[in-house]
Chains A and B, each alone.
Chain A
Amino acid sequence: MTAPTTERRHIVVPPGSVALRLENLSVWYGAHQAVRDISMVIPERSITAIIGPSGCGKSTLLRALNRLHDTTPGARVAGHVWRNGIDLYAPTTDPVWVRRHIGMIFQRPNPFPKSIFDNVAFGLRVNGYRGNVAEQVEQALRAAALWDEVKDKLHANALALSGGQQQRLCIARALAVKPEILLMDEPCSALDPVATMRIEDLMRELAKSYTIVIVTHNMQQASRVSDYTAFMLAGEDRIGELIEYAPTREIFIRPRDRRTEDYITGRIG
C-alpha cells in the first residue's frame, strides 16, 4: 500500500533566469507553525502555480514572498528568499522596498474607495514617481486590458466597477509601480467564468515580461495558465509542506507522489 515517493521538489532552471530562490522558509502565526521549511526556485518570466487543499499554507507562503507578514501582528517568518543575490529577509533589507518590486493581487478585488485614477496613481505617488503620472496610469490600465473600458470615467469611484473590472484595476495598480514579480492570491476566486477567462488571458500576456506566482485552489486554472506547479499539503500537524514541484504538464500527467495524484484526481481536498 505505501507507494514509494520519489523525491521531486526541484526544477531545473538556468542560473541566469532565477526570479526567486526560497531557502528553508517557515512561517508561524503566534505559536502555530503554518508553513515548514520550503525551498524552491521560481524561474523568471513564467507562471508558477501553487496548488493544494485549503489550509495547506499556500497563501501563507505567497505572503512571505513580499514580506506582507511583517504587517500582521503575531506572524513570524524564518528562512531566506533570495533575489539577484539579495536576501529579502536580511536585516538590512527594507520590506517597503521589497513590496515595491514584488507586486500582489489579492483574493477579492480590493480597490481603495477613491477614483480609478487615484487607485492606479497611489503607488506612483507614495514611491516618488518622477515621470508623468497620468501617462503611467494610462499605460498601466492598458497593460491590464482595462483602459478602453474606463478611459472616459477615470475620476469615477473605483467601487462602481464590476468585480472583474475591479480585479483588473488592482492588477493595473500593481503594474503601475513597475514591479518585477507579481504575486496573485487566488485572483479569480471571487469572479465569474467570463471575468476569470479575461484575467487568465491577461496573465499569459503579462508572463512575457513578468514573473508571476499564482496561488489557486482551481486545478484547471493551474493547468491552463501555469508553466510550473508546486503542490502543497498540510499533514496531521496542520503544517503546510511542499510535496511536489515540477513543470505543470508533468505534475498533471505523471505525478510522482501519491498525495499529489490523490489531490489531482479529486480524492483529497
Chain B
Amino acid sequence: MTGTQLRPTVGTDTEFQPRLSLRRKVGAVFGVLTVVAMAIGLLTLGTLIVDVVRDGWSVLSWDFIRNFPSRRPSEAGIRSALIGTVYVMVLVAVIAFPLGVSAAVYLEEFAPKNRLTSFIELNISNLAAVPSIVYGLLGLGIFVRALTLGPSVIAGALTLSLLILPIIIIASREALRAVPPSIREAGYALGASRWQTVRMFVLPVAMPGILTGTILALSRAIGETAPLITIGALTYIAFTPKSLLDPFTVLPIQIYNWVSRPQPAFHQLAAGGIIILLAVLLSFNALAIVLRARLQRQIRD
C-alpha cells in the first residue's frame, strides 16, 4: 500500500513513446477534416442556389406570377399554384396553431406524470419522424375518402396540419419550458388558478418562442409535395379554387410537374418556381427572426 513501486520519472522518457509531433499533426489533419465536412455542406447549399438562380432567372417576370400554367412554356406561370399555396397555408396556420399550442400547454403545464402522458409524448416524437408520404395516405383514407372531402383545399390543409402538429407541439413545449418558474410563482402567489397563470403570465412570455417554432413548422409545410400528391392534388390546373371543397395545386407540385417533363424550357420554369418558393421560405424565416426579436423586446420593456 505504498507509492514506492511507482517512482516518478525524472529526466527523459524511456518508458513512454509519446510521439508528440505525430499526434499533433494527426490532430491538425482531423481538425481540417471537420472543417471540410462543414464546407461540403455549405458549398452544396451555395451551388444549389447558384444553379437554380442561373437556370430560372430568365423566366422570372410579372407574367410568370400572373399566368396560369400552360402547354407553351413561354406563356406558363404559377398563378394557380401560388394562390393554392396561400390558401392551404392560411388554413394550416388556423388549424394547426391553436391545436398545437393547446396540446403543448396541456403537456407542459397540466398533464400529470403518468403512463398516458408519457405515451402521448412518445407518440408525438414518433409522429414527428413519420415520413410525410404516410400522412398523405392518412389524408387519402380519412379526409378524401371517409369524410368525402375529395382532393380539395380543405383535405390538403387538414393533412398538412396533422403533419406539422408534432413539430409545433415540440417547439411550443420547449418555449414553455424556458419560462422561468418565478413567472409562474408570481401568478400562484396571487391565488390565480393554473389556467389563469398560464394565460396571463406564462403564455405571453413563451409566445415569441412558440411563434418562431410555428413559423418554422409552416415553412416545412409550404415545401411539402408528396403528401399532397398522394391525396390527389392536381398537377395541372388553370383555375383558382373558389371554395374549400375545390381542387387545388401548390407551388412544389407545380415545380415537380415541370421538372418531370423532358423539355429544358419546362426545367427553366421549374427553376423559376423554385426561386419563388425559396424566396417565400426565406421571407418566412426572416419574419420569424424579426417577430422573435420584437416580442422579446416588448417583454423586456
Contact = CB atoms under 8 A, between A and B. Distances in A.
Direct A–B touching, Cβ under 8 Å: yes
B5 A130 contact: no
A143 interface: yes
A96 to B, nearest CB: 6
A139 B6 CA distance: 7
B59 to A, nearest CB: 48
Contact of B16 (A129, A140, A142): A129
Interface in A130-157: 130-131, 139-140, 142-143, 145
B7 interface: yes
Contacts of B2: 143, 205
A94 B20 contact: yes
A41 interface: no
A75 interface: no
A131 B23 CA distance: 20
A209 B19 CA distance: 26
A210 interface: yes
Interface in A61-105: 94, 96-97, 100
A179 B20 contact: no
B191 interface: no
Contacts of B20: 94, 96-97
Contacts of B6: 139-140, 142-143, 175, 178, 209
Interface in B1-55: 1-10, 15-20, 23-24
Contacts, number: 61
B8 A210 contact: yes
A206 interface: yes
Given A94-B24, A180-B10, A139 B15 contact: no
Interface size range on B against A: 10 to 19
A143 B4 CA distance: 8
Contacts of A97: 18, 20
Nearest to A96: B20
B3 A208 contact: yes
B9 A180 contact: yes
14 contacts: A127-B17, A127-B18, A128-B16, A129-B15, A129-B16, A130-B17, A143-B2, A143-B3, A175-B3, A178-B6, A178-B8, A205-B1, A205-B2, A209-B6
Interface residues of A, number: 24
Given A142-B1, A143-B3, A205-B2, A100 B8 contact: no
Contact of A209 (B3, B15, B18): B3
A178 B9 contact: yes
B2 to A, nearest CB: 6
B3 A100 contact: no
A25 B5 CA distance: 35
Is the contact region of chain B dominated by helix, strand, or loop, or is it mixed?
loop
Contacts of A177: 16
Contacts of B23: 96
Nearest to B2: A205
A178 B16 CA distance: 10
A248 B75 CA distance: 93
Interface in A192-229: 205-206, 208-210
Contacts of B10: 180
B13 to A, nearest CB: 9
Contacts of A145: 1
Contact of A100 (B5, B18, B24): B18
A142 B15 CA distance: 19
A230 to B, nearest CB: 23
A173 B140 CA distance: 62
Nearest to B23: A96
Contacts of B19: 128
B8 A180 contact: yes
A210 B3 contact: yes
Nearest to B10: A180
Nearest to B18: A127
B3 A206 contact: yes
Contacts of A140: 6
> Interface centre among A128, A206, A210, by most B CB within 10 Å?
A128
A86 to B, nearest CB: 12
B3 A179 contact: no
A94 B8 CA distance: 20
A127 B3 contact: no
B5 to A, nearest CB: 5
A175 B17 CA distance: 17
B17 to A, nearest CB: 4
Given A128-B16, A143-B2, 8 more contacts: A96-B23, A97-B18, A100-B18, A128-B17, A128-B18, A139-B5, A178-B8, A178-B16
B4 A131 contact: no
